[in-house]
Structure 1
Amino acid sequence: MTTATPSATPPAPDDHSAAVGRTETRRGRIDPERAAALAATLDLDGIPGDGRTLPPGWHWLYFNPFVRRGEIGADGHPRRGGFLPDVGLPRRMWAGGRVTYHAPLPLGAEAEKRSTITDVTAKSGKGGRLVFVTVRHAIHAGGTLCVEEEQDIVYREAAVPGAPSPTPAPAPEGAERSEEVVPDPVLLFRYSALTANGHRIHYDRAYARDEEHYPDLVVHGPLTATLLQGLAARCRPGLRLHRFSFRGMAPLFVTAPFRIEAKAGTEPDTLDLWACTPGGGLAMRADVRFTP
């Protein structure tokens, strides 16, 4: 279900405020087989945790629209102009978000996800026009609010062939735990399939290079964020992850291994986490708060 209130006057080109308040509701089952498939994709022995509830970050497997082929755009995403507004920019990326885990989300449960567009803001950056869309998601199961999330989506202008890539900031130092991740095309393809993510930069090397001008296939931001949450759980066994905030800083590619790292935060029961590019740059930064 999608609802929106029409604007009384024609908006300015960068005014997409009519989309604010638009809602969408999706219902489905938290299928254990899909969670088991992600565990296999990540080369895990089984679903982490107690095996009865979803680990942090794994809710991104569910409630994703699988649209008809005729409704897919050239980039593999659903065509613009549905729930998310058509802002007139060709490139769409998941820039970051904030997730609060209020209660465990049981495997096998019937659940509902209600999404609301809370903000649309146009800006100008070094790469041209940008439009940021913030979406609030709330997932309920059995009448209980389990997961609450704010998702930041950024729309950008088309990539310029030959333009130099920005140099990422250096990753933090002083990691107390560091793990290597070796990405490959099969990992990216399987994660795309499990999350119904058709964006071709993750599995179509020719498209990634020739159309969006990346050097190779791009690792999904949500996949990196999921790996960071798994690292956090291993750092603090016995505690429940309550809140996770993350922001993508630079892309990661299948060309070389990268590292995910963590160290204690400045407050009790917190962690600072990040993902490093192969050259030591900051690819993603995140922070976690735990509860007993």
Structure 2
Amino acid sequence: MDIDHLRSWIGTMQEDSETLSPTTLRQFNATFDRQSSHAEGAVAPLLIHLCLAQPIAPMSALGRDGHPALGGFMPPVPLPRRMWAGGEFTFLGDIRVGQKVTRRSTVTDVQLKQGRTGALCFVTVEHAVTADGQPVLTERQDIVYRDVAPASAGKAEPPPAPEGTHRRVIEPTSTLLFRYSALTFNGHRIHYDKPFCIETEGYPGLVVHGPMQATMLCQMAADLRGARPATFSFRSLSPIFDDAYFTLNAKDRDGALHLWTARQGGPVAMEATATW
């Protein structure tokens, strides 16, 4: 892997804009079983920006996994699997219905590391999001690329996750995963093509989106405290699939709120911290 070539993508920028319509807000709330005003000027739910101004690639420009082929904005990492490894949001203001939301994205780092199952390539992207020209949030997105691990590369699963002081059970149906993929114009086949997941990627089922888990946890944090957090950081530890229910958990810790997802009876899948 030519890491120097991949690092030449550092500094690459991309900018996209989209007006938040009442229809998009209604679709977002329907997907997450939430209610809020969709009138002009109404405050939008947290992390709805992940559904706005997403890259739009023609079918001829997609890779084998349904994602836009690499080598444009993102570096052409020659590893087949990619996941949202983690990130952080800093909230500066509200997005409102009818506003033009602009996301300015920059590749800020590319690092090659050696993991338990082989090479790992981490790409860091920073996003600056504005609404009608006013800053509303910044986001750091950590994306990891890796090879398909051989079956013998597994290790003993970590112990089951604890239950939070606050807890909610989620059924990750294929319909839920499809709706979120549609909202975010995400063609990644691991979220809706079960034969591809099992036969090509070696997963036991459809993969639950990392951004969707982060959205659920961030909404839970805001609901518990009655206000949007100032920061929300998270990292993915293991995937969860549509073959079992998973839970959202939260508990207070040192003035912040510690949150996590977990498959029922399984280890922590995503952990997060919200601060005010």
Q: Same fold (TM over 0.5)?
A: yes
- C-alpha displacement of 1:178: 0.6
Is 2:180–2:212's contact at 8 Å kept on the other side of the alignment? yes
Is 2:52–2:101's contact at 8 Å kept on the other side of the alignment? no
Q: In structure 1, what is the Cα distance between the partners aligned to 2:105 and 2:37?
A: 27
- In the alignment, is residue 95 of structure 1 matched against residue 85 of structure 2? yes
Specify the alignment match of 2:200 in structure 1: 211
Specify the alignment match of 2:236 in structure 1: 248
Specify the alignment match of 2:135 in structure 1: 145
Q: In structure 2, what is the Cα distance between the partners aligned to 1:132 and 1:47?
A: 39
Amino acid at match of 1:235: L
- In the alignment, is residue 266 of structure 1 matched against residue 254 of structure 2? yes
RMSD value, Cα? 1.9
Specify the alignment match of 1:287 in structure 2: 273
Is 1:109–1:141's contact at 8 Å kept on the other side of the alignment? yes
C-alpha change, 1:165 and 1:256, in structure 2 (3 Å) is: farther
- In the alignment, is residue 201 of structure 1 matched against residue 201 of structure 2? no
Q: In structure 1, what is the Cα distance between the partners aligned to 2:67 and 2:82?
A: 9
Amino acid at match of 2:238: A
Q: How many residues align?
A: 274
- In the alignment, is residue 191 of structure 1 matched against residue 177 of structure 2? no
- In the alignment, is residue 257 of structure 1 matched against residue 245 of structure 2? yes
CA deviation string 1:94-135 (max 9, x = no partner):
111000110111121012110011110000101111110000
- C-alpha displacement of 1:45: 3.7
Specify the alignment match of 1:18 in structure 2: 8
User: 1:234 aligned to 223, 226, 230, which one?
Assistant: 223
- C-alpha displacement of 1:51: 8.2
Q: Runs of 5+ in structure 1 lacking a partner? A: 1-11
Q: In structure 1, what is the Cα distance between the partners aligned to 2:140 and 2:162?
A: 25
Specify the alignment match of 1:8 in structure 2: none
Q: Runs of 5+ in structure 2 lacking a partner? A: none
Runs of 4+, deviation exceeding 6 Å: none
